[in-house]
Structure 1
Amino acid sequence: MNHAEEIWKTLVRATVDKKHPWRVVAFSTAGAKGPQARSVVLRAVNMAEHALVFYTDRRSQKMADLAHDSRVALLFWNPRSNTQLRVCGIAKPETSELIVNGFWDQIPEYARKDYATLSAPGDALVGDSLTYDFDTARMNFVVLNVKVLNVELLELKREGHVRFRCDLDETGHWIHQNMVP
């Protein structure tokens, strides 16, 4: 098995194991207001398309940033194995209503309120409580696909660090390059 395959299998594990350290990811964008980073949850992996799947609110700053520049950088950290994974790719909203509705149907009722606030995420809170409109929640829900263009893994070891990079070529194959740690 090559290094890229191992990384993808680990990412798939992170989508099903809620305690996996790669489940929560630093997601960075470069919007009109400059670079921004936030934590997001890895929801699915589409190995055939070399894509990672996240959820977001269409009204979020993240979506405005992606409208400005669709390039993203993701940072995964596993403290158990001292392994860092950096991923660069292009983020685009899923356009298939069938696919989006399939993900929406998996969200528990209690979690749907995250998309039902009348105000956008990050807006100033007026008063002491939020107002919800559950009829509009589905409209605010976005499935975000990140087409992975390259991955770089750094494993910190006492006996010597290991670092390599894999780039996706135009034929859909991963080109592996060992690197100086």
Structure 2
Amino acid sequence: MIETLDDIRADIASRLADAAANRRNPLHTPIVATSDTDARVMVVRAFDAGSWTLRFHTDVRSPKVVVIESNPAVGIVGYDRGEKLQLRLRGTASIERSTPLVDSAWANSDNFARRCYLGEGPGAVSDVPTSGLPKRFEGVEPTDEELLPARTNFAILLVRIERADWFSLAHTGHRRAVFDLADGGGGRWVSP
């Protein structure tokens, strides 16, 4: 059991870094909620411990982009069932479309991942079940040239974490700590 606030703060950073690097980590796919109370599972792509910033990939045509650009408040929840640990994060989100960071994220994605940005935008209505992809790319890896139009739909969602709520479940007694990272990272114990 982690006993100090400093250890818990380090544990949060370590878990988020591993979530970005390890797709088997339960926190790799947290629930991200926007200010309109819409929530979705997203994949953590990177974590910068220095700025407490998470990076996700998104489609600029997604409804969440408009919501975030009008109100950047987001909430993120992850749960590690094996460790019996819940992590709730609050922060400020931003969408980047054409920065060196976006270019790097695009360059480091494989063509199967990039093809998601070729099809219909998220939420496009269809008369039949659909992946939204053009039929010729169903189960097929596009070439770099075929993916050129997809880049305009690709963006990154950055979330600067301002508050972290660490909650450990235990039969001997639950433990909870909250950190105000926007104000320099001060933490405090709170009742579960």
Q: 1:176 to 1:110 in 2, by over 3 A?
A: same
User: Which has the larger strand fraction?
Assistant: 1
1:155 equivalent in structure 2:
168
Between the aligned partners of 2:19 and 2:121, the Cα distance in structure 1 is 28
2:126 equivalent in structure 1:
125
Unaligned runs of 5+ in 1: none
2:112 equivalent in structure 1:
110
2:169 is the alignment partner of 1:168:
no
1:91 equivalent in structure 2:
93
2:10 is the alignment partner of 1:5:
yes
The structure 1 residue matched to 2:34, chosen from 26, 29, 34, is 29
Between the aligned partners of 2:103 and 2:118, the Cα distance in structure 1 is 16
Aligned partner letter, 1:178: W
Between the aligned partners of 1:155 and 1:82, the Cα distance in structure 2 is 6
Unaligned runs of 5+ in 2: 1-5, 138-145
2:178 is the alignment partner of 1:177:
no
The alignment covers a number of residue pairs equal to 175
Between the aligned partners of 1:52 and 1:66, the Cα distance in structure 2 is 15
User: Which has the larger helix fraction?
Assistant: 2
Q: CA deviation at 1:95?
A: 6.0
Q: CA deviation at 1:61?
A: 1.4
Runs of 4+ aligned residues of structure 1 deviating over 3 Å after TM superposition are 126-130
Between the aligned partners of 1:76 and 1:128, the Cα distance in structure 2 is 29
Q: SS at the partner of 1:22?
A: helix
Q: 1:157 to 1:142 in 2, by over 3 A?
A: same
Q: CA deviation at 1:97?
A: 2.1
The structure 1 residue matched to 2:150, chosen from 119, 134, 137, is 137
CA-to-aligned-CA distance 1:11-45 (integer Å, 9 cap, x gap): 101111110000001000123xxx10000000000
Between the aligned partners of 2:97 and 2:61, the Cα distance in structure 1 is 16
Q: SS at the partner of 1:2?
A: helix
- Contact 2:177-2:190 within 8 A present in 1 as well: yes
Between the aligned partners of 2:129 and 2:181, the Cα distance in structure 1 is 49
Aligned partner letter, 2:180: D
% identical equivalent positions: 26
1:54 equivalent in structure 2:
56
The structure 1 residue matched to 2:82, chosen from 80, 83, 100, is 80
